């Protein structure tokens, strides 16, 4: 069991970079989604079992996984774009609790510590001068962001169960199936916007930023999701859910490293609460 646990922790370390990545890359939402989808499909295609893909790609479970994942990417990017990075990632990480509730596992009182940890993180962001709600002059942006990130958490929980329904030990198959349908849809969407003209498509792109976005998605995102799928397929809902909160800790470490965020007592208290939940659950 140690390898799936390490895989899950590594996945959360990589994927918790996304709130910062979405804000700093400087390209449109459409292009961010497209570069993510294309890069994941391209890299996973190298390692897939082609016979399995041929027999499974059009199954109900696979198509549902692709559609849910596409909506998940949209919801998460909109949430990250419209909220402070810390707030968005803290709220997004309610998805492990959603997994627990959807899986029907018996409630463990230690899970209250997870909720307490989230409350500390959110309180810190609302109470500091840098909080999104104090910076924004348009309250609807904040409300919209909250709605989007909750939907992102819910679709992330659905993905956990859908991945387990697609039966394969090669988790690059899971990555490919999750992203292929969305990649086709977004490619057609961008092509339609540019009247299916290759020249117009390239003219409309900021090729340097798109190249950086594609590379980062390919190197960080696809590996992160491979590790997450690897863990999801092998860990029960209770262990998987608890380990997911490690991403919150990493998101604040990245925030201090890249955005000069300060370590405050609510962040310390939230971290201790989440570690306590891991220990007692």
Q: What is the model's pLDDT at position 139?
A: 47
The answer to which of 63-67, 139-143, 148-152, 201-205 has the lowest mean pLDDT is: 201-205
**Per-residue pLDDT tens over the stretch 9-24:** 999 888 888 878 777 7
Q: How many domains does the chain have?
A: 1
Instruction: Report whether pLDDT(230) > 70.
Output: yes
Instruction: Determine the straight-line distance between the first and last CA of the chain, rounded to whole angstroms.
Output: 17
Task: Please state whether 104 falls in left (phi above 0), alpha (psi between -120 and 50) or beta.
Answer: left
Residues 6+ apart with CB under 8 A from 37: 70, 73, 179, 182, 183, 186
pTM recorded for the entire structure: 0.77
Q: Which domain holds residue 81?
A: 2-280
């Amino acid at each position: 069991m140690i390898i799936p646990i390490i895989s899950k922790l590594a996945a959360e370390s990589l994927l918790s970079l996304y709130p910062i990545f979405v804000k700093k890359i400087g390209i449109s939402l459409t292009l961010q989604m497209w570069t993510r989808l294309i890069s994941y499909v391209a890299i996973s295609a190298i390692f897939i079992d082609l016979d399995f893909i041929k027999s499974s790609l059009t199954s109900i479970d696979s198509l549902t996984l692709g559609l849910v994942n596409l909506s998940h990417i949209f919801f998460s990017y909109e949430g990250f774009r419209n909220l402070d990075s810390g707030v968005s990632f803290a709220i997004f990480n309610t998805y492990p609790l959603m997994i627990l509730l959807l899986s029907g596992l018996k409630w463990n009182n230690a899970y209250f510590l997870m909720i307490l940890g989230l409350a500390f993180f959110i309180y810190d962001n609302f109470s500091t001068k840098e909080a999104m709600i104090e910076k924004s002059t348009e309250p609807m942006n904040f409300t919209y962001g909250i709605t989007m990130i909750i939907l992102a958490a819910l679709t992330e929980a659905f993905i956990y169960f859908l991945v387990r329904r697609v039966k394969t030990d090669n988790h690059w198959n899971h990555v490919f199936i999750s992203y292929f349908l969305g990649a086709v849809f977004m490619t057609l969407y961008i092509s339609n916007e540019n009247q299916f003209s290759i020249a117009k498509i390239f003219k409309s792109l900021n090729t340097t930023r798109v190249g950086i976005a594609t590379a980062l998605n390919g190197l960080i995102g696809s590996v992160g999701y491979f590790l997450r799928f690897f863990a999801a397929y092998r860990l029960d809902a209770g262990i998987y859910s608890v380990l997911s909160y490690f991403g919150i800790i990493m998101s604040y470490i990245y925030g201090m490293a890249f955005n000069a965020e300060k370590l405050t007592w609510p962040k310390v208290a939230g971290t201790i609460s989440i570690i306590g939940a891991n220990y007692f659950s």
